Structure 1
Amino acid sequence: MTDSSAHQWMRDQQRLGHTLCLVLNAESERDMRQSLLKSCQFDDYLSVYNDTLVADLADAGPFVFTFDQPDDIRLKELLKNAQRNWGWFASIQKGDLKSLVKHWQARLIIGARPHQALYRFHDNRVLSRALAHLTEEAYPAFLGPAISVCYWQGTRWESTNNPAPATYPVPAQPLWHQVPAPDTQAAEIRLINAHRYLLAEHVQAYARLAEQHDPDTWLRGRLAQAEAWGWLAPEQLEFLLIQGLRAQGDTLSPYWQVRPGEMPDEHFERVRLATALCQGDATL
């Protein structure tokens, strides 16, 4: 689909009597969000993170707007800049905005405490990979009340129809959690989740670190080290981040270095035990 094809999808959905929605990544599109908010009625939009466990992130989280003017100059700007990965479009039945948002609110959190993460459903790359991975029978539980979705696939616009739009419970083992992520995006997701974890659980130590180091640079360095060591399990990442905050200066003790022939799990257990002995903390 070209830009004109995306417009045609909008017109086709309107002709069928459906309401058009814009799922917007407000964190990277703040100016666009503010522009839309100024011209929207109160019941024409919702913040997805509001009234959830991550309500404190609502300002930076995704927003869903309904609209009825596909030729709006702001939408044309989004279509021309699809590479910014700002979100995607959906069509719903009139009055289903709240149902659509509740659907995604129920699917926001991945994993169990303390290793929870946010599912970035509003990222068109996440949506595109999920739809490519899922069978058509799995679309309804994933898309919920959305009748059809239109999204930038990376090289072109595509659309997918939901064979049975409705409200569904979250499956015990959602198939969309099993979609492999590209290495580059997996790294960015780890960065975002690590940053939010430190803000939520270790904000004072993280703030002290920021007095001496650029947090983004420091965090990327720690995560690059974790990837080099093969420490990508939640427990391993959490351990490396916490100990990195505790370390004097910006270096870890020599015993942290991997030994010849040492496998990632063996390396982690050795370092974890050595750290516990050094700190006198048997709970590590």
Structure 2
Amino acid sequence: MSQSFVLHWLIEQHRADRLLCLVLDSQNERDMRQRWLKSSRYEQYASVYGETVVAELADTGPFLFTFDQPDDRRLDALLDRPDSHWGWLASLGKGELKPWVRHWQERLLVGARPHQALYRFHDSRVLARALEHLPVEALPAYLGPAISVCYWQGSQWQSTDNPAPGTCPLPDSPPWLHLPMPEEPAMEIRLANAHRFLLAEHVQAYAGLACAQDPHIWLRERLAQAQAWGWLAPERLEFLLIQSLHTQALAPHWQPRPDETPDEHFDRVYQLSRSWSGEMPS
């Protein structure tokens, strides 16, 4: 995993008098984030989720850090393990950090209430897939003020230049939201969105569960169950999460019957649950 490509890209951007920027996944790189926070000036970093409707997730959301030198030693530990999906690198014009933060804040939430989801732009796999499929004319609306980006593309480093860096309005139907998603990052996105949903809508019960077991392990098990049953549609997944949160073990009737389709399975369980909770006549 040679770092020469990244170092060459960093030197080129620095020589062009551009601001170097690290996009860091704070959820999985908490120690690294703290190291950068302690060694950065206030104007050199920003939390993307801060001061947004998902501010309660700021501690686990992405952080953007600018740095001055292409040979910054703080990068070494990250460049040594590019396949750990810690994030990616970008270059900006001087003074463009705040506009770039606003750019991503405008693109954070996907979908309409109550089924909104978070767009994980800071995941190198999400970025790489978008840049692989987007036409050149769609790049300015996607990358905004970023002049160039450097990221891990599965097996090698790659860079992409923005043909028209600057502030761009969010398209009515962003093309990057209509790309097929590989299963691994799709599961991480579902996990983040399920965590956010339970924090926002069922925080007391979720906190009680967290006292007894690791909530992320519990969420992964629930999501695996939803996937096995074909219940990944937002309303079905929410139903499974809520019911599981308030019940130690799901009753036997929750299991699918032989030759039962996912639609038939969900409708049967949903109607039985409503009936037993008194929401409809039995």
TM-score, normalization by structure 2 = 0.94
Partner of 1:270: 268
Distance in 2, Cα, partners of 1:201 & 1:97? 33
Shift of 1:232: 0.6
- Amino acid across the alignment from 2:201: E
Partner of 1:145: 145
1:74-97 C-alpha deviation (Å, 9 max, x unpaired): 112211121221111111111111
What aligned pairs does 1:221-232 form with structure 2 within 5 A after superposition?
221-232=221-232
Partner of 1:204: 204
Partner of 2:42: 42
Q: Please give the secondary structure, in 2, of the residue aligned with 1:151.
A: strand
What aligned pairs does 1:55-74 form with structure 2 within 5 A after superposition?
55-74=55-74
Distance in 2, Cα, partners of 1:2 & 1:105? 33
Q: 1:35 to 1:214 in 2, by over 3 A?
A: closer
Distance in 2, Cα, partners of 1:235 & 1:204? 21
- Amino acid across the alignment from 1:124: S
Shift of 1:212: 4.5
Partner of 1:18: 18
Q: Does 1:240 align with 2:217?
A: no
- Amino acid across the alignment from 2:100: L
Tell me if structure 1 keeps the 8 A contact 2:14–2:70. no
What aligned pairs does 1:1-284 form with structure 2 within 5 A after superposition?
2-247=2-247, 249-250=248-249, 252-282=250-280
Distance in 2, Cα, partners of 1:187 & 1:68? 35
Shift of 1:171: 1.1
Q: Please give the secondary structure, in 2, of the residue aligned with 1:187.
A: helix
Moved more, 125-134 or 59-68: 59-68
Moved more, 211-220 or 176-185: 211-220
Distance in 2, Cα, partners of 1:200 & 1:73? 39
- Amino acid across the alignment from 1:216: H
Tell me if structure 1 keeps the 8 A contact 2:125–2:185. no
Q: Please give the secondary structure, in 2, of the residue aligned with 1:46.
A: strand
Q: 1:222 to 1:60 in 2, by over 3 A?
A: closer
Tell me if structure 1 keeps the 8 A contact 2:118–2:189. no
Using the aligned pairs only, state the percent identity.
61
Q: Please give the secondary structure, in 2, of the residue aligned with 1:59.
A: helix
Shift of 1:136: 1.0
- Amino acid across the alignment from 2:164: A
- Amino acid across the alignment from 1:82: P
Shift of 1:213: 4.3
Shift of 1:210: 3.7
Shift of 1:25: 1.2
Tell me if structure 1 keeps the 8 A contact 2:99–2:145. yes
Distance in 2, Cα, partners of 1:112 & 1:243? 23
Distance in 1, Cα, partners of 2:204 & 2:45? 35
- Amino acid across the alignment from 2:83: Q
Q: 1:215 to 1:31 in 2, by over 3 A?
A: closer
- Amino acid across the alignment from 2:23: V
Distance in 2, Cα, partners of 1:217 & 1:84? 19
Distance in 2, Cα, partners of 1:136 & 1:265? 40
Shift of 1:211: 4.5
Distance in 2, Cα, partners of 1:131 & 1:155? 15
Distance in 1, Cα, partners of 2:214 & 2:16? 52
Q: Please give the secondary structure, in 2, of the residue aligned with 1:150.
A: strand
Distance in 2, Cα, partners of 1:96 & 1:44? 11
Distance in 2, Cα, partners of 1:88 & 1:216? 24
Q: 1:9 to 1:211 in 2, by over 3 A?
A: closer
Distance in 1, Cα, partners of 2:94 & 2:213? 50
1:66-115 C-alpha deviation (Å, 9 max, x unpaired): 11211121112211121221111111111111111100010011111111
Tell me if structure 1 keeps the 8 A contact 2:126–2:185. no
What runs of 5+ residues in structure 2 fail to find an aligned partner?
A: none
